Structure 1
Amino acid sequence: MSDGARWDSAYHAPVLAAEIVRLLAAEADPHGRLAVDGTLGGGGHSEALLEAGFDVVAFDRDPEAIAAATTRLRAWADAGRFTALRANYADAADHLAGRPVHAALLDLGISSHQIDDLGRGFSFREGAPLDMRMGTDAPDDAATLLNTWDERDLARLFREFGDEPRAPRLAREVTRRRATRPFATSDDLVGAIRGALGPRSGPGDFARLFQAVRMGVNDELAGIGRALPALRDALVPGGRLAVIAYHSGEDRLVKHAFREWSTACVCPPRHPVCTCGHEALGRLVTRRALEASADEVARNPRARSAKLRVWERAA
């Protein structure tokens, strides 16, 4: 068994788990220090951090994830080293009661269990309901979004979250079809995608555009935008924040935030002398995003689009 595979479960295979442990526990003995797992999922990353010596407080919006991970990590919870709370990672810092955080992790993907559970509606497999809510705190499901958003907002969703150059055409196809019959299942959205993009559109297009709808349902980019500075400010000096992104928009947001926090001078480029007085809040640990190895992708194909970035708060 490869190093990362030891934390896999039937619920989910955590991505880049060995790299997460190596990078978050690199600078100091983690024993007794607090790590925040903002996206608990199946508990694989939390277990890896616990085994490394961290105490872990974990968050998830999904009650099924909380139940599965709590069962898996019960021995750690009984020892007082693991706590799971049902909450949005964007609000995680609000639940820490000022506790010093030495490491924090956000894995922005969805779990294998969520994809494989047809009733959750994340899949484009035939007959899946259009739900896609990470938790009950999401106000509307995917069907409601597709049936009520106006054409302009749908086009923006498909363009910005789905990287779709024909987003206006797809938005127009959705509004045309829903006027006759409301969207209810995956078949309806797949049919609209084929109607707009042509019969040669396939699983890659479906995955990309279903992901876009999921991100809209759960307001994911706004959540990341709130979570990043909150977790940054919760870190102790020398503490590290790691983020795994699977979507270009997510990764771009993380990259720009980490770069901004690591910049000492923000004067105009041709300014001869620094006068801004700005100080860097920390440093980039990973100059470029780390990706899963070929071995990990072969074991877990859902890791192929993962990009890991790590930032450290100034000491």
Structure 2
Amino acid sequence: MTLPYASGYHAPVMVREVMDLLTPERGGLYLDGTLGGGGHAEALLERGPEARLIGTDRDPDALREAGERLARFGERFTPVRSNFADAVAAAGIGDGSLDGVLLDLGISSHQIDVDERGFTFRPGAPLDMRMAQATAAEPSAADLLNEMDEAELANIFFRYGEEKRSRKLARIVLEMREREPFATSDHLLDAIRRTLGPRAEAADKARIFQALRIAVNGEIQALERALESFRKALAPGGVFAVLAYHSLEDRLVKNAFRDWSLDCVCPPGFVQCQCRGTPLGTTITRKPMSATEQETLANPRARSARLRGWRAA
């Protein structure tokens, strides 16, 4: 299978399904809060010749790549550097202005494939994992491993990596860093082997590295902040589409879409409704959509993707 809109930078996931939810052919203003390499953005601007798109990303590499790719669309495309949690404010978008929003919560193939970015567990890669690249204000993965206490590390491994042996792994990290600070993927891989045994599978390593990445970039907190701001920015009939790759992210999205679709969210026991009394919109996807077997064979990174959609009233 040839992956549509794939480039050497990144292969976007579930492009057709995302476009079917957003329906850019109706025109209007859209926001891609996680621009990445610009694959979804290119598909949207091609499918909607009257559509305009604001694309935000905190990664300067992504903005450069997408800017070159989308330059042919001229003023229909506007790039903005921002974390998706602050995208609405950074782009100057008012309430009720957007006809569609896309959040793709995965990381790009480029970020994984470039060892210097520190997202990979290939040997010798630096433990960085910062989406915005190195800044003095943001600690790296190595900083967390070297400075957090045992309980904090165990919480990261358990909450974000769903690792049952999180306490043991945290204890081993503390023991190892007394002898030598964590600096590269080799140190963390050694800690994982000591915890899970020499036959630890690639999926186990990926979960633990993912947990650190989520913690480094504050991804769950950013998503919690972002959801309401994106909802408010949607015009009536506007669609919110989210691609999630982790159960915790997907659960936040599912619960938000469910609550927004209820006519009453008062606590149990209230005799009379005292909340908004009407749904804010409708969940489009009763269950999350997954990539086809053909796509996952061509792009294994699509296997964990879950797509949900919601339409504003």
| TM-score normalized with structure 2 length | 0.94
Alignment of 1:166-181 (within 5 A): 166-181=165-180
- Does residue 123 in structure 1 map to residue 120 in structure 2? yes
Quick check: 1:206 aligned with 2:197?
no
**Which residue in 2 is equivalent to 1:188?**
187
Q: Given residue 149 of structure 1, which amino acid in structure 2 is its aligned partner?
A: M
Partner of 2:42: 47
- Residue equivalent to 1:275: 273
| Residues 191-200 or 139-148, more deviating | 191-200
Counterpart Cα distance in 2 of 1:286 and 1:120: 35
For 1:46 and 1:195, locate their aligned partners in 2 and report how far apart those are by CA, in whole Å.
43
* Aligned 1:65-104 pairs, distance under 5 A: 65-76=62-73, 78=74, 80-99=75-94, 100-104=97-101
- Structure 2 counterpart of 1:16, one-letter code: M
Fraction of identical pairs, as percent:
52
In the alignment, the residues of structure 1 paired with residue 200 and residue 4 of structure 2 have an alpha-carbon distance, to the nearest angstrom, of 37
CA spacing shift, 1:95–1:252, aligned 2, 3 Å: same
Q: 1:135 matched to which residue of 2?
A: 132
Change (3 A) 1:267 1:233: closer
Report matched runs for 1:216-255 at 5 Å: 216-255=215-254
Alpha-carbon shift at residue 52 of structure 1 (Å): 1.7
Indicate whether 1:59 and 2:47 are aligned. no
Aligned residue number for residue 113 of structure 1: 110
Deviation at 1:61, TM superposition (A): 0.8
Aligned pair 1:12/2:7, yes or no?
no
What is the DSSP-based 3-state SS (H/G/I as helix, E as strand, rest coil) of the residue aligned with 1:283? strand
For 1:35, the equivalent position in structure 2 comes to: 30
What is the DSSP-based 3-state SS (H/G/I as helix, E as strand, rest coil) of the residue aligned with 1:179? helix
Alignment deviations for residues 105-149 of structure 1 (CA, whole Å, 9 cap, x no partner)? 000000001100011110000100000000046611111011001
Query: Which one-letter code corresponds to 1:19 in the other structure?
Result: E
Report if the CA contact (8 A) 1:124-1:206 is conserved.
yes
CA displacement 1:253-275 (0-9 Å, x = unmatched): 1111111111112356688x763
Contact 2:266–2:274, Cα closer than 8 Å, also in 1: yes
Q: CA deviation at 1:197?
A: 1.5
| Long gaps (5+) in structure 2 | none
RMSD of aligned residue pairs (Cα, Å): 1.6
Change in 2 beyond 3 A, CA 1:265/1:204: same
Counterpart code for 2:129: M
The structure-2 alpha-carbon separation of the partners of 1:24 and 1:169, relative to structure 1 and needing over 3 Å to count, comes to same
Whether the aligned pair in 2 keeps the contact of 1:131 and 1:142 (CA below 8 Å) is: yes
**2: distance between equivalents of 1:73 and 1:230?**
26
Query: Which amino acid in 1 is paired with 2:38?
Result: G
3-state DSSP of counterpart to 1:7: coil
Report the Cα distance in structure 2 between the residues aligned to 1:188 and 1:48, rounded to whole angstroms. 41
Conserved 8 A contact 1:15-1:292: yes
- Preserved CA contact (<8 Å) 2:118 2:127: yes
CA contact (8 A) 1:265 1:274 kept: no
Q: 1:282 Cα shift?
A: 0.9
Contact in 1 for aligned 2:4/2:15 (Cα 8 Å): no
The count of aligned residue pairs is 306
d(CA) in 2 for partners of 1:30, 1:95 = 25
